[in-house]
Amino acid sequence: MNNCEVCNREFPYKSTLAIHMRTHTGERPFKCYTCHKQFTQESHLAQHKMTHTGERPFPCDECEKAFVKSSDLRRHVRVHTGEKPYSCDVCHKKFADSNNLIVHRRIHTGEKLFTCELCEKSFTQQSGLIAHRSIHTGEKRYFCDLCDRSFFDRYKLNVHKMLHTGDRPFKCEQCDSSFRTNGELSGHRKTTHVDIKPFQCDLCENRFTKSSHLNKHKLIHAGVKPFSCEICSKSFTARSDLTRHNKTAKHLKLMEASQNTDSLQGGSGHWALYYTSPQCLIIMFSYSSHWLNNFGDFN
């Protein structure tokens, strides 16, 4: 097999591995000579050219939208059916698109494969890196074909285009309202349906405003704790609980003790402090038996 040296994915042929490597290197050798947009594969360029010719061979039976690719049509149909066939095996959140599930899983693993070569900031998906690079260059690579607006990333372009098409794929399950983005829908729920909790747990009497909140709650009954502390290995059902844990409890004791290490007698330990993010301070201490006697174990 042919393995990617960056993410270790396996490919049956060297040619498919070479195409995949472009997702890490950013190489886009196939260029559209109409708008100068570039692509990793020739087939992607051929599909893109249809956006200039207006050709959309895959129409939706439920609405007037049509698509360049059959896969885009299949994803779109799920807007009408509400189907979400892809489920996270950690938190059970469901997705209409398998690619969204792949990206979501990186929340649990902490995996960030795409790194900016200018500032070393890392991202869970390539689109995030591409959009970020525009901050350094000032280039707005995504152009609306219906007006003169341009954008740093494809997501903002797609949301903008909904102003032209009237498309509102995020529907409120408690009323007939619909929205362009999930963020707009969340804001609507908080302001309009603040006291309505239609989702009840079948194992207890708790009720929730969103199905995703119910799914997270069910982890408590299942005993699943996907978020672990890097210092003491204690696990939590929700990320917010881990964040609170990192700011309180015995972590504060560690941080306070780090300022008074000179008062420790007979210890041979030393401190090494590493800031991996504003939220997480990893304190590595090679401690002696004196430290354990005074402060105990952190499990």
Residue 263 CB burial class (10 angstroms; 0-12, 13-18, ≥19)? exposed
Of the pLDDT bands very low, low, confident and very high (cuts 50, 70, 90), residue 266 is very low
pLDDT (0 to 100) of residue 118 = 85
77 versus 297: which is more confidently predicted? 77
pLDDT (0 to 100) of residue 71 = 85
Of the pLDDT bands very low, low, confident and very high (cuts 50, 70, 90), residue 257 is low
CA torsion, points 230, 233, 239, 243, in degrees to nearest 10?
Answer: -60
- pLDDT of residue 65 exceeding 80, the answer is yes
Helix 249-258 vs helix 239-247: angle between axes, to the nearest 10 degrees? 30
pLDDT in tens, 213-256: 888 888 888 888 888 877 777 888 877 787 787 777 566 666 56
Strand intervals (E) in 108-260: 114-115, 122-123, 142-143, 150-151, 170-171, 178-179, 199-200, 207-208, 227-228, 235-236
Check: CB of residue 74 under 8 Å from CB of residue 59.
no
pLDDT in tens, 8-48: 888 888 888 888 888 888 888 889 888 888 888 888 888 88
Distances in Å between the alpha carbon of 294 and those of 252, 267, 288, 291? 15, 11, 10, 5
Please state, in angstroms and rounded to a whole number, the distance separating the CA atoms of residues 283 and 254: 8
Of the pLDDT bands very low, low, confident and very high (cuts 50, 70, 90), residue 131 is confident
pLDDT (0 to 100) of residue 190 = 76
CA atoms within 13 A on the CB side of 162: 13
Residue 22 CB burial class (10 angstroms; 0-12, 13-18, ≥19)? middle
pLDDT in tens, 153-182: 778 888 888 888 888 888 887 788 888 888
Please state, in angstroms and rounded to a whole number, the distance separating the CA atoms of residues 148 and 183: 25
pTM (2 d.p.): 0.36
pLDDT (0 to 100) of residue 298 = 44
pLDDT in tens, 105-122: 888 888 888 888 888 888
Helix (H) or strand (E) holding 272: strand 271-277
Q: 184 is written with which tokens?
A: 């707009």
In 10 A of CB 216, how many CB atoms? Answer: 19
Give the domains, in start order, of the chain with CATH numbers.
1-55 (3.30.160.60), 195-222 (3.30.160), 227-295 (no CATH)
Please state, in angstroms and rounded to a whole number, the distance separating the CA atoms of residues 152 and 147: 16
pLDDT (0 to 100) of residue 250 = 66
Please state, in angstroms and rounded to a whole number, the distance separating the CA atoms of residues 52 and 57: 14
Measured at the CA of 205, the angle between CA 203 and CA 245, to 5 degrees, comes to 85
